[in-house]
Structure 1
């Protein structure tokens, strides 16, 4: 060791010793618990502030503000979350800002944005009472506060108390955070200049988390328990076995809730008490609330093509707001090749599907950030936001459209010999027996609605049910040219039942060629592009359930999720029809009961379902075929 290094080491040792001796002597039996430790050290490349922002009713909401050191005149990007703002801003206890924040924040904070996360009232470290999807003040909310007022008050405080900002605010987030982003657009603060709601919860009955077209989604029990219970919350304690068996043994949704003590949860009771699309559900539908107001904040709505939780919301809001957008520059729609919230993670693949690069990063850098930049920066670039941006799966490319849907609806008819054709067939029909004791599973058993099984279930190979006697399968021949669809395929199913109620599930499927040496995993693969259910009792109206007349042919009409997809030459188009999708959706007893939630064992009966085709009862899936 050289002499200068020896000297430096001696100085360091002496200074450290001096510090230790300067402190009070350590009692060997003193309490060694320390009240706090500031894990953000002086060498950190960021500033992180925790504040309690007061709302108009005096309630204070826990808020974390994060930005790079030396930031000046930065736009604020806000997210209001029920999932813990503390955790969202402490991904790692690092001294680097890129490490502590979620992946999707990197491009923003690296360019001078101020990132803000806030716990919604009643959750995390915020004060107040929590109400699941708190309704807008009015008939369903007799207080003077809601997510709209909380967003307004938060933004008002931020622009007055964050001196590093330029006074312009954007809001974003996925799922519940998409819902709070949309609620901020109702009577918005003047400083709110742009919004990107992702996979937002919009209408919990029509097609988002709790119901789809009247059929109850049982996974809501786990969400409600995890979301609303302080001690003992989490997944329903049914064990780690086959959820198919657990729900089947329990019986109805009500009996399942009773068995696990879930009726003690107000959020569960509310849903079970409102099985139809009554005023309680309609009054919370965010697309209806926004449609009744003038849109003043530029909004980019984002959804994944295989969103397993909230596929309905973003397109519904787009449809509701687009009539106001005369210049085609206030509201835009984005559909990417993602699962629920997949836009905020790596987007190179989904289950067995592989895409051309990281599609999520491509979207965030090429479209989302430029959208915020042009509305939030002090010296903004010109806005060049596409009216509609979609990723064409099959062809693997991003596409821009001026409107949505962007295809001409063309009927693809179900017909004889299990065929599908663009030509209407001769009249006929196919029958199958639907047995509630043996419902069609959503996945190969054992079924677990968690982890990657849940995230990827919509892209699972459908061959596992093809050939079941209670699943009707219709297929085209191998295509000799591409078929490109851009929009939400529409189902027009003409069917009858021997029961007094029935569910109908329709799947639109891309069947890959049996030989595929380039990608053996996809050889013969049956890729679902859309899976959706309709509960028969609502054929006369979603607010007016009524029994079906046995033997009568009804026109059951509903939409599949929105999609941009190219069926390639050599592939086939398939449609599957069945009457259960279990355990995701509760079983239809197929006899008449006022509320399926309360069906008893004796109510579950077999029924013969008949799919009619041709003539005046021509079942079809209407495809929005684009002109390429």
Structure 2
């Protein structure tokens, strides 16, 4: 104790003896040094500019330049999703780490990358109109995506000193749409275009509708694009499983009112135009491109399992193909991908399906960059096939002269029907007897889901939205309101390259109905190559038709109750090989919820505003006989 007290006294004496000048100094005015990273360490630089349009509006534009680049072409992307997101890679002095995969590959190949916010979005001035139509009947201004692309390119070739004066446009989804707009009345400096999974016709088979059935899951997208200039807000559903949320709400309009979307301009346009009227027809970009001269070499990029815009790329390619006299300016590549997957790092798998290598990297290095090099750098013709298609099942790339007419060696594809039978069979022989029907009851109170529950919102952080098209379809086969037709085990391989067409006969006890048709590859029950895939039911093509549009997409009409009628659904394009030991399956159902809104199964003027009392059960029959030969016309290759 005495030692402790003595130590304490000495300590106090020592403290008291410190000289005044040794006291702790006061805090500095600021801890901010304002010293940015040394730019000399980076192998790339960024310029942000505001490019003026012909009406005075300035568009926010980011120019990305690899260090030392000169006399280089420009790759130009226009997006509503934020140009700044091109710079959200890992903080790095190396652009190959700092930029998204697609931009990094292009920069490494010697290109200046320019990304721009479309007018009214993020850093750009002006008004944003979703899917702004071209100047004309639906747009009484003097500006559209085509003029904005023209004005931007004109500014770039005059003001970016490092360029050789040649420009290529590129973009995914909405960016694919703006890419296609850039080739309508194109700037002379525009020498190549790559629309990737573009939105082309929002009613026929892209974002908004498929053959008249409304894709209500995109209500979330409408809200994000309408509620704020920079998409800061997302819909707040009342539960994790949105299947229950949609079912509880009632009609699409009921849900829109509940979530505060009902007054947004884009939603009002959807409600006011449920049929394929002039509002949609005049916006159909494939129809416009079919009337335009082919001035810009174009590479259309299509994904076989594009969960958002599976219609657009093949439709745009088909519209432009008659203008390609030398078969050397209108190209298409078909990959085994989801929406936009061809432009990201990993293309080796999708969901449970693997592809024997990184198909996305192969496409960028073997097709995309050589296509740009030929048209923007004057490089030697790389010998890209007019159509390059990945054949799933076999997991091989194929070269074709065109799509879907013939392959490089001159072998024609042909339509070969595979017939449904009332016993649940599927075969190549046309039915000869009286046959019969397969029956199920469709109940809007218990609609068939488009995937296993729980079903998460499109923008839920845990969602696997991008892979739902490759989900195992056994969950649906097990339901009593889904009818299934399956072939015998295949003893020969079956190659498909083109568009399957479902031609079937059906009746309903209601006065309206939806029909969903799925073409499925059934794996062997025991699969030695990958045991976890035993019995897997892989959908290779599926789509929906709203029955009221069976005769006219623009003039809906009630369905005569209990009358057998023919229906036709052009299914999404396929490039697939059914292997020996597999089976071919077809599933048919009358709801696909909550991806698509429910059909009341009672004809009402506008399903958007259907009342709860309008929804009713219906008995559905798929007819199969010599008189009613329900079938799928398959694009079979030798």
TM-score normalised to the size of structure 1? 0.93
588, 607, 613: which is aligned to 1:577? 588
1:540 is displaced (CA, Å) by 1.4
Q: Does structure 1 residue 216 correspond to structure 2 residue 227?
A: no
Check if 1:160 corresponds to 2:158.
yes
Task: Give, in whole Å, the separation in 2 of the partners of 1:41 and 1:114.
Answer: 18
Helix, strand or coil: the match of 2:469?
A: helix
The yes-or-no answer on 1:368 pairing with 2:372 is no
1:126 aligns with 2:124: yes
Quick one: distance in 1 between partners of 2:62 and 2:483?
53
Q: Does 1:230 align with 2:228?
A: yes
Give the whole-Å Cα distance in 1 for the aligned partners of 2:507 and 2:286.
Answer: 33
| Structure 2 residue aligned with 1:441 | 449
Structure 2 counterpart of 1:625: 636
Q: Distance in 1 between matches of 2:29 and 2:260?
A: 45
**Residues in 1 aligned to 2:142 and 2:35: alpha-carbon distance in whole angstroms:** 38
2:145 to 147, 153, 163: 147
Q: Which residue of 2 aligns with 1:281?
A: 280
Q: Which has the larger radius of gyration?
A: 2
Q: Does residue 568 of the first structure (1) align with residue 579 of the second (2)?
A: yes
Distance 1:105 1:183 in 2: 21
| 1:259 corresponds to | 258
Match of 1:113 among 105, 108, 111: 111
Classify the secondary structure of the residue corresponding to 2:320. Answer: helix
Partners of 2:137 and 2:35 lie apart in 1 by 46
Question: What pairs up with 1:515-534 in 2 under 5 angstroms?
Answer: 515-534=526-545
In structure 2, distance between residues paired with 1:322 and 1:74: 30
Equivalence map 1:198-597=2 (5 Å): 198-230=196-228, 233-345=232-344, 346-377=346-377, 379-406=378-405, 407-425=413-431, 426=433, 427-450=435-458, 452-597=463-608
The answer to which of 242-251 and 447-456 deviates more is 447-456
Q: Equivalents in 2 of 1:374, 1:363: separation in Å?
A: 16
List per-residue Cα deviations over 1:529-578 (Å, max 9, x = no partner). 01200000001110000101111222111211111000000000000000
Structure 1 segments (4+ residues) deviating >6 Å? 31-34
| Aligned mates of 1:325, 1:206 — CA distance in 2 | 25
**Equivalents in 2 of 1:223, 1:199: separation in Å?**
17
Which runs of 5 or more residues in structure 1 are unaligned? 1-25
Report the alpha carbon displacement of residue 233 of structure 1 after superposing the two structures with TM.
4.7
With over 3 angstroms needed to count, the CA separation of the structure-2 counterparts of 1:113 and 1:227, relative to structure 1, is same
Measure the CA separation in 2 of the matches of 1:603 and 1:349. Answer: 43
Q: Helix, strand or coil: the match of 1:333?
A: strand
- Are the equivalent residues in 2 in contact too, given 1:49–1:66 (CA < 8 A)? yes
Structure 1 residue 227: Cα displacement = 1.4
Tell me the equivalent position of 1:3.
none
- Cα 1:32/1:268, change in 2 over 3 Å: farther
Q: How far 1:89 moved relative to its partner?
A: 2.3
Structure 2 vs 1, CA of residues 264 and 38 (structure 1 numbering), >3 Å: closer, same or farther?
A: farther
| Cα contact 1:304–1:335 (8 A) shared by 2 | yes
Shift of 1:111: 2.4
Classify the secondary structure of the residue corresponding to 1:138.
coil
Instruction: Out of 49-58 and 552-561, give the one that drifted further.
Output: 552-561
SS of the residue aligned with 1:196? strand
Instruction: Return the offset for 1:33.
Output: 7.8
For 1:579 and 1:436, locate their aligned partners in 2 and report how far apart those are by CA, in whole Å. Answer: 9
Looking at structure 1, the residues matched to 298 and 629 of structure 2 have their Cα atoms a distance apart, in angstroms, of 40
TM-score after normalising by structure 2? 0.92
Q: Structure 2: which 5+ residue stretches go unaligned? A: 1-24, 406-412
CA distance in 2, matches of 1:33, 1:126: 31
Deviations 1:205-263 (A, max 9, x none): 00000100000001111101111222885332114421111100000001110111111
Backbone CA RMSD of aligned residues: 1.7
The offset of 1:40, in angstroms, is 7.1
Tell which deviates more after alignment, 223-232 or 456-465: 223-232
Q: Report the counterpart of residue 600 of structure 1 in structure 2.
A: 611
Structure 2 partner of 1:183: 181
Structure 2 partner of 1:65: 63
Residue 123 of structure 1: SS of its match in structure 2? Answer: coil
Report the CA distance between 1:42 and its aligned residue: 2.9
- Kept in 2, the 8 Å contact 1:512–1:523? The answer is yes
CA separation of 1:56 and 1:27: change in aligned 2, threshold 3 A: farther
